[in-house]
């Protein structure tokens, strides 16, 4: 390539600006000389504000980064991939990994430090999903055995209660007892069935599904259920989402559980919103190393929200705060989403509401 100094400078500047990782450079004294757009986005700091300022001022809340930059400036050592850094971007924390290297000119002189920041949000989310799936599978073996053992005697009790009911005259007061027996047996049966659904591996039956029809039908159905209350269910669909391969029955169960939870959370008055969109920049590696876009479905409610200390437990089977809940709903959702190689994310602010986001790979 033959070009002048200005063009060469532009060429290098474009390279740095196009890198997906955050790049920040300081001079020997720790004064910021350069910051690329990815670094601005990750740190929530604009380069115009900080260029020419000492690094330690805007980064005083990240002492680890200040320490890394100062150590590399002093010793010329590389510090690679330090993973436990959390940056506050706006008002939300972003996990990043950081690495520093000395900036060395041709003569061998060290003239500054380069800091590279890599966003770990997606990595952390994947790790969390894997942890949840692990927890489920160890519980699964035990639960599946237990559920099988319970199903047979339960059938016996149900049959006996039905026989007993038949023996009683229509006006017998004992009928109340058989009614309760049958009702409770049905409830235990439901728990066992759900537990089995949760723990037994089920082969996915993928077919081209129309996501908006599934969610639209569920909304119509649930609107009738809340007709007596001041609960509004809004839907906002991205028309560009094409039919994609998924198990229709399982997706129906997934969204039904999430919408029901939202309805139960808002109580008498509330707003539930279901928003779909294609996530162009969120790609997941599929089997065979193919990359695919993701569809995001957000189910949000303005209910009471979920306390921070409960948020990790929610997906554990049998965790419930409801008098008649089984606590299996979200565990099943988690399983369905991971069987589809997707992600289930939770964001909740106590007092404000909750957003569950389902991310599914757009496989066609």
Ligand X SMILES: Nc1ncnc2c1ncn2[C@@H]1O[C@H](COP(=O)(O)OP(=O)(O)OP(=O)(O)O)[C@@H](O)[C@H]1O
User: Quick one: which of 265, 284, 297, 337 contacts ligand X (CB under 6 A)?
Assistant: 265
Q: Does 189 help bind ligand X (rule: CB under 6 A)? A: no
In the complex, least distance from residue 257 CB atom to Mg ion, rounded to whole angstroms: 5
Residue 306 binding: pick among Mg ion, ligand X, none (C-beta 5-8 Å cut-off by kind)? ligand X
Identity of the residue, 43 or 257, whose beta carbon is nearer to Mg ion in the bound complex: 257
Q: Is the dihedral of CA 218, 223, 229, 234 positive or negative?
A: positive
Place of tokens 């790979």: 361
**What is the spatial distance between Cα 222 and Cα 217, in angstroms, rounded to a whole number?**
9
Q: Is 5 exposed, middle or buried (0-12, 13-18, 19+ CB in 10 A)?
A: exposed
Torsion angles phi and psi, residue 83, rounded to 5: -90, -15
Residue 215 binding: pick among Mg ion, ligand X, none (C-beta 5-8 Å cut-off by kind)? none
Do β-strands 269-285 and 291-301 pair in parallel, antiparallel, or remain unpaired?
antiparallel
CB closest to Mg ion, residue no: 329
**What is the spatial distance between Cα 131 and Cα 335, in angstroms, rounded to a whole number?**
12
Q: Does 261 help bind Mg ion (rule: CB under 5 A)? A: yes
CB closest to ligand X, residue no: 329
In the complex, least distance from residue 184 CB atom to Mg ion, rounded to whole angstroms: 20
Residue 109 C-beta-side C-alpha neighbours within 13 Å: 4
Q: Cα 164 to chain center, whole Å?
A: 49
User: Quick one: which of 231, 250, 262, 362 contacts ligand X (CB under 6 A)?
Assistant: 262
Query: What part of residues 35-64 is at the interface with Mg ion (CB under 5 A)?
Result: none
Residues 242, 268 contacting (CB under 8 angstroms): no
Q: Does 329 help bind Mg ion (rule: CB under 5 A)? A: yes
Identity of the residue, 65 or 233, whose beta carbon is nearer to Mg ion in the bound complex: 233
User: Quick one: which of 330, 336, 337, 358 contacts ligand X (CB under 6 A)?
Assistant: 330
In the shown chain, the binding pattern of residues 282 to 321 toward ligand X, with x for contact by CB under 6 A and - for none, equals -------------------x-x--x-------x----xxx
333's CB contacts (< 8 A; 6+ apart) are: 254, 257, 258, 315, 344, 356, 358
Identity of the residue, 327 or 342, whose beta carbon is nearer to ligand X in the bound complex: 327
- Cite the beta strand spans of 90-229 per DSSP E: 92-104, 110-119, 207-209
Q: Which residues contact ligand X by CB under 6 A?
A: 257, 261-262, 265, 301, 303, 306, 314, 319-322, 325-331, 354
Q: Which residues contact Mg ion by CB under 5 A?
A: 261, 329
């Amino acid at each position: 390539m033959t070009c002048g100094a200005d063009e060469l400078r532009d060429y290098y500047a474009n390279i740095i600006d196009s890198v997906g990782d955050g790049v920040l450079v300081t001079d020997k004294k720790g004064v910021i000389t350069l910051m690329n757009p990815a670094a601005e986005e990750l740190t929530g700091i604009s380069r115009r504000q900080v260029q020419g300022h000492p690094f330690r001022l805007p980064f005083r809340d990240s002492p680890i980064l200040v320490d890394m930059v100062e150590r590399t400036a002093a010793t010329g050592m590389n510090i690679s991939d330090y993973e436990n850094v959390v940056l506050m971007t706006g008002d939300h924390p972003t996990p990043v990994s950081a690495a520093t290297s000395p900036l060395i000119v041709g003569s061998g002189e060290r003239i500054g430090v380069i800091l590279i920041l890599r966003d770990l949000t997606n990595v952390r989310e994947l790790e969390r999903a894997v942890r949840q799936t692990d927890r489920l599978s160890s519980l699964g073996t035990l639960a599946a055995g237990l559920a099988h053992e319970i199903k047979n005697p339960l059938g016996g009790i149900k049959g006996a209660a039905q026989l007993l009911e038949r023996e009683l005259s229509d006006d017998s007061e004992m009928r109340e007892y058989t009614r309760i027996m049958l009702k409770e047996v049905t409830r235990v049966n439901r728990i066992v069935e759900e537990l089995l659904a949760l723990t037994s591996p089920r082969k996915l039956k993928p077919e081209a599904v129309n996501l908006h029809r599934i969610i639209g039908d569920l909304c119509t159905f649930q609107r009738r259920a809340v007709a007596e209350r001041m609960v509004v269910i809004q839907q906002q669909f991205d028309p560009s989402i094409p039919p994609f391969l998924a198990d229709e029955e399982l997706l129906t169960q997934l969204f039904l559980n999430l919408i029901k939870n939202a309805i139960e959370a808002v109580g008498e008055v509330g707003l539930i919103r279901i928003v779909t969109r294609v996530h162009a920049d969120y790609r997941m590696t599929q089997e065979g190393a193919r990359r695919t876009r993701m569809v995001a479905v957000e189910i949000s409610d303005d209910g009471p929200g979920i306390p921070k200390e409960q948020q990790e437990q929610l997906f554990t089977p049998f965790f419930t705060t409801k008098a008649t809940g089984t606590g299996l709903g979200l565990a099943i959702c988690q399983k369905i989403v991971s069987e589809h190689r997707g992600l289930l994310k939770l964001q909740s602010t106590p007092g404000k509401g909750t957003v569950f986001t389902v991310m599914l790979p757009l496989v066609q």
